Structure 1
Amino acid sequence: MDANILLIDDDTELCDLLAEFLSLEGFTVHAQHDGERALAHCRDHSYDAIVLDIMLPGMQGLDVLRGLRAFSRTPVLMLTARGEDTDRIVGLELGADDYLPKPANPRELAARLRAILRRTRMEDSPASELQVGRLNLNSSQRQAIYDGTTLALTSAEFNVLYSLLARAGQVVDKDTLCQEALGRPLSAYDRSIDVHVSKIRRKLAELGGDNLILSVRGAGYQYAPESAG
């Protein structure tokens, strides 16, 4: 796959190993080992996706992520310690697209990156534009507009909203949302979709779009018709 990837991790040996494997998979890989320098680097360089270790010396990974989201919507895949659910939820709240526990399996990392990139390259989608009420989604431009105002969505948030809008009025289960938005099955105790939906709701509500995404207990989520908003 032709894509430029940035690894941000202080473990230089791990970066070398991952870069070697990902290069064989067709990725062009760059690495930064310091959070503050990586953030400055990203202001002057663009990438198709970023792999970010949460546990960094100096400027922590979550602070790097917060800084990135101030000027960039590049998809971010977090690397988190196993069992650190709090870091994962905070990372998703700050704008990460997905996470992978360390030590990361290189094949799984490559698969996650491909899934993220496929969903950010939806130009060839036959249904590139969706309009329901005051909400318009254009997948070729990766743009969401509500009542004339652009929604600042991460790649994962856009994908979740697109899946819901494509089935407006229907309940979409979390596993389907996870498969379509993140490119992977929903795992036990995985709250990624819940966090993404929560963030989308807040962003819609800021523009007056209250109660547009409904929770259906034990079933999933539903994008309500505009008349219900």
Structure 2
Amino acid sequence: MKRFLLVEDEKILAKNLAFFLSREGYQVDIEYDGEAGWAAYTNKAYDLILVDWTLPKKDGLELCKQIRKESNVPIIMITAKSEIVDKILGLELGADDYIVKPFDPRELLARIHALLRRNESTSTAEQRLQYEGLTLDREKLLILFGLQNVTLTANEYKLLEIMMKKPNNVYSREFLYDEVWGGLLEYSERTVDVSISRLRKKLMELSGEKYFHAVRGMGYRFGEKP
């Protein structure tokens, strides 16, 4: 049975969601503030984490950022903030998906299923993909360069895998969005831009090389310098 961590300070909502998800066959641990959420995360292994944006003691963004430094576990941000800039901020700090209150629990369940499928598909694929000095480890969701490595989220892995398979191809934002996010998120060019920017930074810090290149009016290319 898959175990989820739900960090939500609205107790009625948290208990209702936990009950709904338990009926779908998932075990759900509930915490009501960010510090308790972090303590729970460090003490148990979870298959997915649901984090409310606004939490007492440690807010959801900080908790998401802290977890992401330690793990590539799928994270869904629960938020009352519907502005695209807020959604992008959540993605930028490591969330894989977000859902805006109020929402139908069945929508949340669909997002959970999609994210779990995406995460599981990465672990069953061929083990490694290489380009130049980079190695993409599919089993551990790592990108390696020499003796160094950086952890990737499921979405970062998928994005990098697509582009590493056919280096120097030009990919439109729309294509990358459809392939990685599967239409679950409301389309925004910034969703793709933020993820590319995050990957570019990780690879630059890892190798000192710039592998992602913007192609004006078209999208992005992965590979050697033009």
TM-score after normalising by structure 2:
0.88
C-alpha separation between the residues in 2 aligned to 1:13 and 1:30?
Answer: 14
Query: How many Å apart are 1:191 and its aligned residue?
Result: 2.3
Q: Deviations over 1:1-42 (max 9, x none)?
A: x42111111112112222222223332222111111111111
Q: Which runs of 5+ in 1 are unaligned?
A: none
Q: CA separation in 2, counterparts of 1:177 and 1:169?
A: 15
Q: Measure the CA separation in 1 of the matches of 2:71 and 2:137.
A: 19
Aligned pairs, how many? 225
Number of the residue aligned with 2:201: 202
State the partner residue of 1:110: 109
State the 1:219 CA deviation.
2.8
2-structure distance, mates of 1:24, 1:178: 32
In the other structure, the counterpart of 1:123 is 123
Structure 1 CA distance for aligned equivalents of residues 25 and 218 of structure 2: 39
- Cross-structure match for 2:84: 85
What is the aligned-residue RMSD (CA, Å)? 2.2
Aligned positions of 1:45-194 closer than 5 A: 45-121=44-120, 122-125=122-125, 127-185=126-184, 187-189=186-188, 191-194=190-193
SS at match of 1:204: helix
Percent of residue pairs identical: 36
Give the secondary structure class of the aligned counterpart of 1:191.
helix
Code of the residue aligned with 1:92 in structure 2: it is L
Asked if structure 2 preserves the Cα contact closer than 8 Å seen for 1:171 and 1:220, the reply is yes
TM-score, normalization: structure 1?
0.86
Q: Which moved more, 1:161-170 or 1:193-202?
A: 161-170
Residue 135 of structure 1 contacts residue 144 of structure 1 at CA under 8 Å; is this kept in 2? yes
- In proportion to residue count, which structure has more helix? 2
What is the distance in 2 between the residues matched to 1:63 and 1:156? 20
- Consecutive unaligned residues of structure 2, counting only runs of 5 or more, are none
Please report how far the alpha carbon of residue 201 of structure 1 lies from its aligned counterpart in structure 2 after TM superposition: 0.4
Letter in 2 for 1:152: T
Structure 1: 4+ residue segments shifted above 4 A? none
- Contact 2:11–2:32 at 8 Å: present in 1 too? yes
TM-aligned CA deviation for residue 209 of structure 1: 4.2
